Chains A and B, each alone.
Chain A
Amino acid sequence: MNVYLDNNATTAMNKEVLEAMLPYYTEIYGNASSKFYEVGRIAENAVLEIRERVAKELGAKTNEIYFTASGCEADNWAIKGIAFANKDKGNHIITSQIEHHAVLGACEFLEKNGFTVTYLPVDSEGKISLKDLEDAITDKTILVTIMTANNEIGTIEPICEIAKICKEHKVIFHTDAVQAIGHMPINVADLGVDMLSLSAHKFHGPKGVGVLYIRNGVKIENLIHGGGQERGKRAATENIAGMAGLCKALEMANSDLDKKMAKMRDVRDRLIAGIKERIPYCRLNGPSDETRLCNNVNFSFRYIEGESILMLLDMHGIAASSGSACASGSLDPSHVLLAIGLPHEIAHGSVRFSVSEDTTYEEVDYVLEVLPKIIERLRLMSPLYEEVLNGEKEAK
């Protein structure tokens, strides 16, 4: 049985999405900027229509939607673009310790270029404190960037409240909503954000296309210079097929969202309860209430290491991911798990399972049958578990 439980990494594209994209690779091949012949005009009109539909889905105005090549680009543009456009006003940026590397990497780049960055700590569930945020804002602060929902442990941040604080202090607020779309309602007006990033492939759309929402009136420098596409703000020939795919995927994600969220929550909770019931010495990372992303499960299994769990899961056809150092390809385990206070050895043993609306009970039950055996097998190989067993023996 093959079970894909890495939907926070990427998702399978919907067939309808692919169908919405295909005409733009064949019949409607024109360059949307070439308006003097028909196939170019058709392309231009398609872009206009797609932009309108995307804006409607997000509660934005059409001219506030900017297409990018990824969520990563949208984050980089938002952060570097605001920094460079506002460097006369100030040089201070506030973010959190648990942001995606796209945000952290852009902030680190700015630190090397004369900006200062405050990385807000988070509590044991991954939430920032509004008081910390307010205390961190100075008259030099030009941008706050806090993710809507965390990709590793599923924590949903208090975005509306953060937006209010930023508005009071007249600081621009950007949120990376890459993990949120399709997993919670996202309306930029309701959230009160100035900028928002999203990426199509996280909600059953194509890879290689994202959006940066920029509220009218926000002054931002370009990241990609060149032609006059995206109203002169982002050069590159329009990826119309990608835009069409993103648009269709977004509409599909938002339709019956409540129902889909309820289903994902149900499957998620079955997995969480099953793991807790069957496997000792484990810990759910992230919140246990409604502030947890409906599709995210993240556990630390003590005394063993994440990569070997993933390898054994893979041998059983199950795809998941881990925050261990080995899995991340660095010396340290995930910065998110360390930020919520996990010691290194517990962070090394973490595994993330992320479901989609297509994940079935049957698939979850299969994981619940396989996973306890894998954990036990690795623990019996572990010298750390040996100490636990010896301790138990002595205790008796």
Chain B
Amino acid sequence: MYSEKVMDHFENPRNVGEIPNANAVGQVGNPKCGDIMKIYMDIDENEVIRDVKFKTFGCGAAIATSSMATELVKGKTVDEALKLTNKAVMEALDGLPPQKIHCSVLAEEAIKSAIDNYRGNGGKSVHEGCRKDCSACPHANNE
């Protein structure tokens, strides 16, 4: 079902953890959908992403796409990182099953959310992308 690269990034995820003094923190997804990604970045004065870490609640593909997305933006400038697409994450993982494509979308959004947080308010609080209000969330099917 999964490519070898997905299995590798699931089994040995890169950049797992937190950055205590991160100046960019973003979180997307919600528990109702079954996946949440949280990204921490340490961005230097030249807007280079010096370090990036992630924490993810989700399936194998959610963990693998988080891992790959952090690998793809590490060492890049903020502007370069904003160009990251879900397609690029998928290609780097040698593809995903169709029902898992949304995981790569979430990974792209997680990176953007962290940078948005960095640009928006200097990066102390968690991005407001998830208000834990499933009824207001476009990702949740409102019942």
A interface with B by C-beta (< 8 Å): 303-308, 311, 315, 324-327, 329, 331-333, 343-345, 348, 380-386
Question: When the two chains form their complex, are residues A305 and B34 in contact, meaning their CB atoms are under 8 A apart?
Answer: yes
Chain A positions within 8 Å of B27 at CB level: 383
Asked if B46 is at the interface of the complex by the 8 Å CB criterion, the answer is no
Closest chain-A Cβ to B119's Cβ sits at a distance in Å of 21
Chain A positions within 8 Å of B59 at CB level: 305-308, 324, 326-327
Question: When the two chains form their complex, are residues B13 and A381 in contact, meaning their CB atoms are under 8 A apart?
Answer: yes
Question: When the two chains form their complex, are residues B57 and A326 in contact, meaning their CB atoms are under 8 A apart?
Answer: no
Closest chain-B Cβ to A342's Cβ sits at a distance in Å of 12
Could you tell me the distance between the alpha carbons of A386 and B40 in the complex, rounded to whole angstroms?
Answer: 13
Chain B positions within 8 Å of A325 at CB level: 33-34
Chain A positions within 8 Å of B75 at CB level: none
Could you tell me the distance between the alpha carbons of A123 and B12 in the complex, rounded to whole angstroms?
Answer: 41
Q: Specify which of B18, B34, B36, B62 is in contact with A344 (CB 8 Å cutoff).
A: B34
Closest chain-A Cβ to B129's Cβ sits at a distance in Å of 12
Known interface pairs A331-B141, A382-B36; 7 further A-B residue pairs with C-beta atoms within 8 A, sorted by A's residue number: A324-B59, A343-B32, A348-B31, A382-B55, A382-B56, A383-B57, A386-B55
Instruction: Pick the most buried of A324, A326, A329, A333: most chain B CB atoms within 10 A of its CB.
Output: A326
The secondary structure that dominates the A interface is helix
Closest chain-A Cβ to B20's Cβ sits at a distance in Å of 12
Q: In the complex, what residue of chain A is closest to B66 when comparing beta carbons? A: A381
21 residue pairs bridging A and B, Cβ less than 8 Å apart? A305-B35, A305-B57, A305-B59, A306-B59, A308-B10, A308-B59, A308-B63, A311-B10, A311-B60, A324-B59, A326-B58, A326-B59, A326-B100, A332-B141, A333-B34, A345-B32, A381-B63, A382-B57, A384-B57, A385-B57, A386-B18
Q: Specify which of B18, B37, B57, B99 is in contact with A304 (CB 8 Å cutoff).
A: B57
Q: 5 smallest A-B Cβ distances: which pairs?
A: A345-B31, A326-B59, A307-B59, A383-B38, A348-B34
Chain A positions within 8 Å of B37 at CB level: 383
Asked if B88 is at the interface of the complex by the 8 Å CB criterion, the answer is no
Asked if B16 is at the interface of the complex by the 8 Å CB criterion, the answer is yes
Closest chain-A Cβ to B135's Cβ sits at a distance in Å of 12
Chain B positions within 8 Å of A311 at CB level: 10, 60
Question: When the two chains form their complex, are residues A308 and B60 in contact, meaning their CB atoms are under 8 A apart?
Answer: yes
Q: In the complex, what residue of chain B is closest to A346 when comparing beta carbons? A: B31
Could you tell me the distance between the alpha carbons of A315 and B37 in the complex, rounded to whole angstroms?
Answer: 24
Could you tell me the distance between the alpha carbons of A308 and B16 in the complex, rounded to whole angstroms?
Answer: 15
Closest chain-A Cβ to B14's Cβ sits at a distance in Å of 12
Closest chain-A Cβ to B97's Cβ sits at a distance in Å of 9
Q: In the complex, what residue of chain B is closest to A307 when comparing beta carbons? A: B59
Could you tell me the distance between the alpha carbons of A306 and B57 in the complex, rounded to whole angstroms?
Answer: 10
Residues B26-61 near A (CB distance < 8 A): 27, 31-38, 55-61
Closest chain-B Cβ to A374's Cβ sits at a distance in Å of 12
Instruction: Pick the most buried of A305, A345, A386: most chain B CB atoms within 10 A of its CB.
Output: A305
Closest chain-B Cβ to A382's Cβ sits at a distance in Å of 4
Could you tell me the distance between the alpha carbons of A361 and B92 in the complex, rounded to whole angstroms?
Answer: 43
Asked if B94 is at the interface of the complex by the 8 Å CB criterion, the answer is no
Q: In the complex, what residue of chain A is closest to B1 when comparing beta carbons? A: A311
Could you tell me the distance between the alpha carbons of A384 and B38 in the complex, rounded to whole angstroms?
Answer: 10
Question: When the two chains form their complex, are residues A326 and B34 in contact, meaning their CB atoms are under 8 A apart?
Answer: yes
Q: Specify which of A315, A333, A381 is in contact with B55 (CB 8 Å cutoff).
A: A381
Q: Specify which of B55, B60, B99 is in contact with A383 (CB 8 Å cutoff).
A: B55
Chain A positions within 8 Å of B99 at CB level: 329
Known: A308-B59, A331-B141. A383 touches B36 (CB 8 A): yes
Asked if B11 is at the interface of the complex by the 8 Å CB criterion, the answer is yes
Q: Specify which of B32, B38, B58 is in contact with A305 (CB 8 Å cutoff).
A: B58
Q: Specify which of A306, A315, A344, A380 is in contact with B31 (CB 8 Å cutoff).
A: A344
Could you tell me the distance between the alpha carbons of A316 and B25 in the complex, rounded to whole angstroms?
Answer: 34
Question: When the two chains form their complex, are residues B57 and A307 in contact, meaning their CB atoms are under 8 A apart?
Answer: no
Chain B positions within 8 Å of A348 at CB level: 31, 34
Known: A311-B10, A386-B18. A381 touches B56 (CB 8 A): yes
Closest chain-A Cβ to B138's Cβ sits at a distance in Å of 13
Could you tell me the distance between the alpha carbons of A307 and B27 in the complex, rounded to whole angstroms?
Answer: 21
Chain A positions within 8 Å of B57 at CB level: 303-305, 381-385
Could you tell me the distance between the alpha carbons of A370 and B42 in the complex, rounded to whole angstroms?
Answer: 35
Question: When the two chains form their complex, are residues A308 and B58 in contact, meaning their CB atoms are under 8 A apart?
Answer: yes
Q: In the complex, what residue of chain A is closest to B16 when comparing beta carbons? A: A381
Closest chain-B Cβ to A237's Cβ sits at a distance in Å of 36
Could you tell me the distance between the alpha carbons of A288 and B123 in the complex, rounded to whole angstroms?
Answer: 48
Q: In the complex, what residue of chain B is closest to A327 when comparing beta carbons? A: B59
Q: In the complex, what residue of chain B is closest to A315 when comparing beta carbons? A: B11
Closest chain-A Cβ to B128's Cβ sits at a distance in Å of 15
Chain B positions within 8 Å of A385 at CB level: 57
